[in-house]
């Protein structure tokens, strides 16, 4: 099963990635070989046709997922794959437009400053070699920006739907009944002397049901005084072994709670019912609403209780992330140590954006590297003039790639935001708006050319041409 998952991920990511990389080859194949050659119309038409096909696929997938509804896992996976595939095709189709843009700048960039005008001509002279490098910058920039936009959309949706599982800063250790003793020893070893509350549950196959008029209090907490004080956040809250406590933020006051205890999982077996008094209190924080039942009440109904969770109250001790990691290592994979830290925005996209930004920068620098002959032709003055020209070439190559990549990345990211925020839950949460990271997009678009220009200033220059070479 794990091999199938890896194969699916390889197809979902690998096929679109190869298509995006194919834009480099497409740019090289369609680039004119001569210094003054023009782009063939059929090459541009083919690129436009391919790009339009990818754009239509993404638009169709966005249209199919525009509604807030339930999407099954398989169907949602196919839609996401089709959308990413369309994105790869779209980037592929932009390949021929890279040598076309370099040619336009080389022949008609009269509005550029003198140094950039000369740099544009240099980039256009050998488009068969410079266009693939600029296309690499374009593809890497597009992928980076698309990932940033889809991550922003997904993060906004996850933040809206996030429900805390415990009080902020609380450590909850969940385990099976068989691992209760091992989990308790692990907590004592990692957090020696720290007070720990425990949540209890009825021993299988017995079970119980708590009925209350509050719709949000379906969760039942069974324990002692330490657990009650964790739920209320009040160390001095009075504890009564014969009274339940309804912990909820909803308005209203109710005096009783009904408990049904079943000695087995057979619904035809008789049950034991009991009505107990309750008081209503505000929860210490979201995520702990429910009904607290003293363990003595269920034990009096014949229930045998076992520990199901250990909780470290943040009012008594603050657990660090390092402590949680050490505890999880001791528990292994079968049990869980969860530290409630509120919603944490995903950071995994940075592991994609970082390498992609470096690839974009490398493409701009590779496009700058010229043969010694072309380096020396304008180098009739000082070496500083040649360095400035090299920096201008790097900046212009980077700008051509990042501007085209920013355009493609914005189109891809805004269309992929729809399939990437579909829900596979039956209770479908509504979509929320998100802020497109325009600042980050603008920063990358401007930073790549600037950094490339600075690095190019330190390139080693070729020796000055002699009179014979200058006359060529």
Backbone angles phi, psi at 451, to 5 degrees: -65, -40
Burial zone of 15 (CB within 10 Å; 0-12 exposed, 13-18 middle, 19+ buried):
middle
Predicted pLDDT of residue 216? 58
Predicted pLDDT of residue 332? 87
Please state the pTM of the whole predicted model: 0.82
Residues 6+ away with beta carbon under 8 Å from 414 = 149, 436
Burial zone of 375 (CB within 10 Å; 0-12 exposed, 13-18 middle, 19+ buried):
buried
Which residue's entry shows tokens 């869980």?
A: 336
pLDDT in tens, 108-136: 767 778 788 888 888 888 888 899 999 99
Predicted pLDDT of residue 118? 85
Predicted pLDDT of residue 63? 94
205: cis peptide before it, omega within 30°?
yes
* DSSP sequence for 86-110: HHHHHHHHTTTHHHHHHHHHHHH-T
Q: Are 195 and 293 in contact (CB under 8 A)?
A: no
pLDDT in tens, 167-221: 999 999 999 888 899 999 999 999 999 999 999 988 888 888 888 776 656 688 9
Ranges of the chain with pLDDT below 70: 1-13, 35-36, 73, 109, 214-218, 267-268, 370-382, 460-472
Question: CA nearest 166: which of 342, 374, 352, 408?
Answer: 342
């Amino acid at each position: 099963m794990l091999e199938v998952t890896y194969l699916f991920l390889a197809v979902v990511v690998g096929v679109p990635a190869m298509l995006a990389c194919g834009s480099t080859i497409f740019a090289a194949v369609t680039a004119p070989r001569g210094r003054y050659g023009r782009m063939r119309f059929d090459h541009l038409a083919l690129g436009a046709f391919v790009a339009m096909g990818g754009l239509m696929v993404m638009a169709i997938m966005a249209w199919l997922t525009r509604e807030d509804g339930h999407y099954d896992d398989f169907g949602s996976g196919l839609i996401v794959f089709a959308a990413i595939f369309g994105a790869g095709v779209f980037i592929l189709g932009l390949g021929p437009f890279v040598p076309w843009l370099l040619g336009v700048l080389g022949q008609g960039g009269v509005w550029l400053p003198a140094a950039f005008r000369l740099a544009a001509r240099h980039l256009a002279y050998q488009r068969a070699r410079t266009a693939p490098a600029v296309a690499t910058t374009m593809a890497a920039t597009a992928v980076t920006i698309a990932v940033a936009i889809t991550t922003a959309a997904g993060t906004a949706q996850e933040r809206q739907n996030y429900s805390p599982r415990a009080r902020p800063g609380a450590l909850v250790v969940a385990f099976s009944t068989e691992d209760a003793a091992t989990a308790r020893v692990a907590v004592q070893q990692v957090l020696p002397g720290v007070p720990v509350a425990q949540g209890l549950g009825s021993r299988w196959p017995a079970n119980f049901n708590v009925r209350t008029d509050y719709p949000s209090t379906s969760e039942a907490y069974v324990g002692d005084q330490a657990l009650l004080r964790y739920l209320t956040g009040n160390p001095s809250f009075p504890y009564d072994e014969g009274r339940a406590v309804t912990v909820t933020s909803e308005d209203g006051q109710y005096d009783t709670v009904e408990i049904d205890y079943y000695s087995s999982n057979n619904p035809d077996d008789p049950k034991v019912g009991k009505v107990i008094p309750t008081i209503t209190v505000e929860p210490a924080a979201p995520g702990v609403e429910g009904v607290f039942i003293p363990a003595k009440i269920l034990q009096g109904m014949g229930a045998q209780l076992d520990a199901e969770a250990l909780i470290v109250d943040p009012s008594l001790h603050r657990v660090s992330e390092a402590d949680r990691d050490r505890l999880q290592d001791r528990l292994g994979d079968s049990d869980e140590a969860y530290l409630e830290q509120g919603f944490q925005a995903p950071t995994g996209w940075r592991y994609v954006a970082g390498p992609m930004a470096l690839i974009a920068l490398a493409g701009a620098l590779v496009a700058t590297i010229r043969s010694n002959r072309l380096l020396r032709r304008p180098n009739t003055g000082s070496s500083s003039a040649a360095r400035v020209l090299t920096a201008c070439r790097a900046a212009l190559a980077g700008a051509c790639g990042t501007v085209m990549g920013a355009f493609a990345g914005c189109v891809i990211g805004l269309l992929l935001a729809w399939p990437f925020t579909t829900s596979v839950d039956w209770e479908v949460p509504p979509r929320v708006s998100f802020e497109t990271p325009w600042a980050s997009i603008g920063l990358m678009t401007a930073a790549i050319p600037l950094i490339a220009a600075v690095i190019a200033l330190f390139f080693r220059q070729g020796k000055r041409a002699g009179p014979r070479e200058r006359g060529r």
